[in-house]
Structures are given as structure tokens and as C-alpha cells.
Amino acid sequence: MKLGDYFKKYNIRFLKSTPSQLKTNIDEIDLEKIFEKRFEDLKQLLNREDKDIYKFYIPDLGSIPSDLKISAINKFIIQGKNNRTVESLLNSSLKIIEDADYNDLDWYKRDIQKILIDISEKDVQVVKKFLIKLKNFNQDVYNDTIKMIKKLKEHNNFLKHFIE
């Protein structure tokens, strides 16, 4: 694959150290030889040819880590997009209470309440799986979460699915 096609496919942009953003002629560079290298190596390669590149980024996602392998960009994009799915939010919430102190439990409750109040039909199975995981992890926190669901069910009908 050519570098220009790769950038277009994944909507990768770059910032230059100097302001001019005129088309930089890097489209024809053959990616095959550097596909297993990292973005830092790509930057160095381009800058050896005077391309003046400061950083790579993807709009609405953020900057690309310099240690990321060029071949791993798809995984990076998927991870970035998944950050806001209910499954990912629930998993992050669960991680807050691993090795938790008292304050973290309060934080977990605030966080989980915000997530649960917004769930829709497509999230029901994800939440069911999460509750099973939570029950196995910490029975007390599970009981608190179910109590919260009972209180919140008037605001979101889908929460009725989780009350036995």
C-alpha cells in the first residue's frame, strides 16, 4: 500500500512544524518496508526528506502515540471509538472499584448511575453480563447497584429487565 492511500483510508493527518499545510508529496512512499515500524520511525523517515512533520493525529480521536506500530492503526481506531460504548463504560466503571478505597466506591456509584440512566434496548444484554461479572466480583457492590436500579427504573423502562 502507498502511504497516501493508507493516510486516506484511516483519515490520518499530520501537523507540520511550520504553518504551511500545502500538499506534501509523500503519497507515493511504499508502506510495505516500514509496515511493522512505529509512527516515530515514520516521522523520522519523512523528516529526513525535509517534510517537517511534528505529529500524526486522527480528527475526533486524538494524536497517534509515537510508539504505535503502523500496522496496528486499526486496533487503535477501534479502541478509540469503543471508548464510549456502554460495554466499555461499564468495564471502566468496574475497574474503578478494583483495589478501591471508600472514595472510589462513591465514584463508582456516581459513574454507574450516569451510565445506567441512559441505556437503551440494545444495551440490555451488555448490562446483564456486566451484572453477572459484578456479582462474582463483589456481592455488596452488586446489591447496592441493584438497589440503585430499582430507584432509577422510573426514569428508564429498560432497567426493569434487571430486577428479578
Partner 1 sequence: MKLTKATYRKPDDHGDTSFDIEASVENKKEDIVDMSVASLTIIDGNDNTVACDYEREDSSYAEKDETFSVYLSCYAKDYLISDFNKAKAIVDLATYKKEYKKIGEFDIPKDHKSTIQSNNQIEFGKIRLFGVSVYRYDPPENPSDDHSVCVKLAVKNISNEYIQKALIKIQLNDRSGANLMDSEDYRPLPPNATVYFEPSVYAKSGKLKGAKLDVSISSFHLIEHYNAESLIKLSKD
Which residues form the interface with partner 1 (CB under 8 A)? 13, 15, 19-23, 55, 57, 59-63, 65-68, 79-80, 83-84, 88-89, 92-93, 95-96, 98, 104, 107, 110-111, 114
Q: How far is the CB of 48 from partner 1 (least distance, A)?
A: 21
- Residue among 54 and 160 whose Cβ is closer to partner 1: 54
CA dist 140 and 143 (Å) reads 5
- Among 132, 140, 84, which residue's Cα sits nearest to residue 109? 140
SS3 58: strand
Q: How far is the CB of 47 from partner 1 (least distance, A)?
A: 17
Quote the least distance from Cβ 164 to partner 1, whole Å. Answer: 28
Q: Which residue has the cell 529526513?
A: 48
Which one, 65 or 147, has the nearer CB to partner 1?
65
* Spatial separation of the C-alpha atoms in residues 60 and 45, rounded to whole Å: 26
Task: Tell me the closest approach of the beta carbon of residue 159 to partner 1, in angstroms.
Answer: 19
CB nearer partner 1, residue 22 or residue 163: 22
- Decide: 62 and 77 in contact? Cβ < 8 Å: no
* Distance of closest approach, residue 112 Cβ to partner 1, in angstroms: 9
Question: Which of 62, 50, 146, 142 is CA-nearest to residue 94?
Answer: 142
Q: What is the largest CA-CA distance in the chain?
A: 66
Closer to partner 1 by CB, 61 or 124: give it: 61
Question: Which is nearer to partner 1, 83 or 125 (by Cβ)?
Answer: 83
Amino acid at 73: I
